[in-house]
Structure 1
Amino acid sequence: MAESTETIAERLKDAFDSLTRAERQLADSLLQAYPVSGLASITQVAQNAGVSTPTVVRMVQKLGFAGFPAFQAALRAELEARISDPISKRNTWAESAPEAHILNRFTDAVIGNIRQTLTQIDLDMFERSCAVLADPDRSILVVGGRITHSLAEHFFLHMQVMRAKVTHIQSISNAWPHYLLDVAQGDVVVIFDVRRYENSTLKLAEMARERGAHIILFTDQWRSPVHDLADCAFCGRIVAPSAWDSMVTLMLMLETVIADVQERTWDTSKARMEALEDMFDRTRFFRKFT
C-alpha cells in the first residue's frame, strides 16, 4: 500500500457500518493490537477474533484487497513506513519524483494530507478533547519528542496564557518522572508522538495512565503505540516529498484546538491575556512604535 493512500485502520473505520456482526468483531480484534494483530496466519487471526477464516477473507476483500496475502503485504508496508529513517523516506519518493518544482510538489502533498485528515477526524472526539482542556479543575501536562517538541512548546505557550495549571514536560530531560508526582485522577496529559516513536514517551503515557490521567494524543496516520492508551487521538497525515515528515497537518489540528479552547474559556482567558499584556508593557518586552 502506498503512503498516499488510506491506512488499513482508516479503511476499517470507514467500512465499519457496512460490515456484518462477525466482520465487526474481526475489525475490533485487528484494531486492538494494530498493526501486528494482522500479521499472524489467517487461521490465527480468525481464532483471535473468534470468527471463521472465510469471514477474514470476505472482510479483507471488502477493504479492497484481492486476498489475505495482499492484506498482509499492505500491513507490512505500513510497519516499514512507521519505522523508516529520513534517508529511506527520501529514497521512497525520489525515485519517482515528478518534474514539477518542489514548491508545487510539497504544497500538493500537504494539501492532500490536510484533506484526507479532515475526512477522518472524529468531531465528537474533537469536542470532548476541547471540553477537557478547557476544564479549570484539571491540570494539563504537555510533552513532545525529538522532532515534535516544537509542536508541544507551541501548544503549551498558548494554553499557559489561556488558563492556569499548565506544565511543559521537557522531552530532553531524563527527570520527566518528577512531573508525574502530582498528576491526579482526571488531569490531562497531551502527547505529541510521530513515527520512529520514542520509548520514553510510551513509558510516560503508561505511567500517567496508571495515575488516572486523561491522555490526548497528536500522532500520524500509522498511530503511535500511545494510541492504545489515549482517550482521544488526533491522527494527521505527515508524508511529504522530503527526507522529513511534514508537521503542517498536526499544527493545523492543534491550532484549531487552541482556538476552540480559547472560545470556551474566554471569560477567564481574556483577563489573563490583559494581565500578560500589562506585564509586557511594564517590562518593555516588545518594541513600541508609538
Structure 2
Amino acid sequence: MHKKALVRDLLKEKQTELTAAERKLSAVLLDDSLLTGLQSINRLAECAEVSSPTIIRLARKLGFDGFSGMQDAIREEIGARMKQPLAKLDAVAPSDSRDHIVSRFIGAVSDNINRTLDRLDLAEFNQVAEVLSDPAHRLYLLGGRITRSNAHYFFNHLQIIRPQVTLLDSSPSVWPQSLLDMNAGAVLVIFDIRRYEKELEKLANLAVKQGASIVLFTDAWGSPIEKHARFCFRSMVEVPSSWDSTLAINFLIEALVAEVQSRSSDQSAERIAALEQMIGESRIFRSN
C-alpha cells in the first residue's frame, strides 16, 4: 500500500482540476476520512448531493477505472490505517529465521526516514521552525497514547531553548484550563498516529476556535486533525513489529530542535547559562 498514491493525497492534489460538483464530493470524502466512500454509489451521491456520474468522473480523474476501483483503494487505505497490532504482527512474520529482527528493523527504519524526507516540504519546515522559535507564540504540546513520549521529548528541548512552552497533561479533564489561554498567538503541537484519538481531534478543533494554530505530526495516512492543522508533517511508521515506529517522527523533531536552536541562539544561550547556574546553586537538586 505504501508504494501506491493514497486516495486522500490524490483528492488534494487534483483539486484545481475538479469541477464544483467534484470538489463538493471530494470535501465530503475528506471530511469523513474516506469512510463515506465505502457506501453504495447511490448512497454516496445522496450524501454528497451530487449525481452518480459525478462520482464516476471523479474516480477516473484520480486514475481509477471507475467507482469500484476507487472504492477498493479506499477500503485498502482505511484497512491499513486501522490495522490492529496483532494483525500487523501476523503480517510481518519472518520468512527466513536467519534474517535477524535487528537487520529487518534497521532496514525498515532507514526506509521510513528516507521516504519521510522525500515527502518533506522544506519551505513548510522552515515556516514551522520560524513559528516555534518566536517567543511571541506560546507553545503547547501533546501526544497520544503512543506518541506521548515524542511530545515530552520535544517539550524538554524547547523549554530550554525558549520560554512559554507547556506540556499538556494527558488527562482531557484538565485541558479546558489551557484552552483558556490559547489565543491567536498560541501554537498547539499535536502528535497523532493510527489509531487516531478522538479526544485529540476535539482538542484541536476547540483550540482552532480559540484562535490557536495547529502543528500536526502524523503518519502516512494522516490523522483527522489534519483538517484543523496549519502545518502538517506526515511520517512513515511501519516496521516489522506489532507497533508502529515513531523514529521518523523523532528525526523531524530533532531537526526542528536544531533549527529552532539556531534561530534562537542568543536567547537560548542565556537561558542555558541561567539554567546551569540555577542547578549549580540549588542544593535541592543535589544529593548530599
- Check whether TM > 0.5: yes
Aligned residue among 50, 54, 57 for 1:55: 57
Does 24-33 or 148-157 show the bigger shift? 24-33
Q: Aligned-pair distance for 1:5?
A: 4.5
> What is the number of equivalent residue pairs in this alignment?
281
C-alpha deviation, 1:119, in angstroms: 1.4
What is the CA RMSD across the aligned residues, in angstroms? 2.9
Unaligned runs of 5+ in 2: none
- What does 1:1-290 align with in structure 2 at a 5 Å threshold? 2-3=1-2, 5-12=4-11, 16=14, 20-22=17-19, 25=23, 29=27, 30-42=29-41, 48=48, 52-60=54-62, 62=63, 65-94=64-93, 100-172=99-171, 174-283=173-282
Q: Which letter maps to 2:71?
A: Q
| TM superposition shift of 1:130 | 1.5
1:46–1:56 contact (8 Å) kept in structure 2: no
Q: Structure 1: which amino acid aligns with 2:238?
A: V
Distance 1:234 1:242, change over 3 A: same
- Listed one character per residue, the Cα deviations across residues 23-68 of structure 1 (whole Å, up to 9, x for unaligned) are 98479534454323533444666784968345224223x3xx4543
Amino acid paired to 1:59: K
Contiguous gaps of at least 5 residues in structure 1: none
Q: CA deviation at 1:281?
A: 3.0
Change (3 A) 1:244 1:125: same
Query: How has the CA–CA distance of structure 1 residues 232 and 66 changed in structure 2, closer, same or farther, with 3 Å as cutoff?
Result: same
Change (3 A) 1:286 1:265: farther
> Which amino acid in 1 is paired with 2:184?
Q
Give the partner amino acid of 2:127: R
* Cα gap change, 1:43 to 1:102, in 2 (>3 Å): same
Offset at residue 98 of structure 1 (A): 7.7
Q: Which amino acid aligns with 1:256?
A: A
1:10, 1:120 within 8 Å by CA — same for their partners in 2? Answer: no
Q: 1:229 to 1:96 in 2, by over 3 A?
A: farther
SS in 2 for 1:191: strand
* Cα distance change on mapping 1:74 and 1:192 into 2, 3 Å: same
SS of alignment partner, residue 170 of structure 2: coil
TM-score by length of 1: 0.85
Q: Distance in 1 between matches of 2:121 and 2:96?
A: 33
- Contact 2:192–2:223 (8 Å) recurs in 1: yes
Q: How far has the Cα of 1:286 moved from its partner?
A: 8.4
Give the Cα–Cα distance (whole angstroms) in 2 for the partners of residues 125 and 40 of structure 1: 35
Cα contact 1:191–1:215 (8 A) shared by 2: yes
Instruction: Give 1:252 deviation, angstroms.
Output: 0.6
Q: Aligned partners of 2:268 and 2:79: how far apart in 1?
A: 44
Question: For residues 190-234 of structure 1, what are the alpha-carbon distances to aligned partners after superposition, in whole Å with 9 as ceiling and x for unaligned?
Answer: 111111111221111111111010111111111111111111111
CA-CA distance at 1:99 after TM superposition: 5.2
Partner SS for 2:151? helix
Normalising by structure 2, we get a TM-score of 0.85
- Superposed displacement of residue 166, structure 1: 0.6
- The amino acid across from 1:91 in the alignment is D
Q: CA 1:72–1:186 in 2, change beyond 3 Å: closer, same or farther?
A: same
Q: CA deviation at 1:74?
A: 2.1
Distance 2:150 2:169 in 1: 12
Residues 32 and 241 from structure 1, CA distance in 2 versus in 1: closer, same or farther, beyond 3 angstroms? same
Q: Deviations over 1:79-129 (max 9, x none)?
A: 222223221221222276785211121111111111221111222222221
Cα offset for 1:11? 4.5
Cα pair 1:136 1:163 within 8 Å, conserved: yes
Q: 1:16: how far off?
A: 3.9
Q: Classify the secondary structure of the residue corresponding to 2:157.
A: helix
AA at the equivalent of 1:185: A
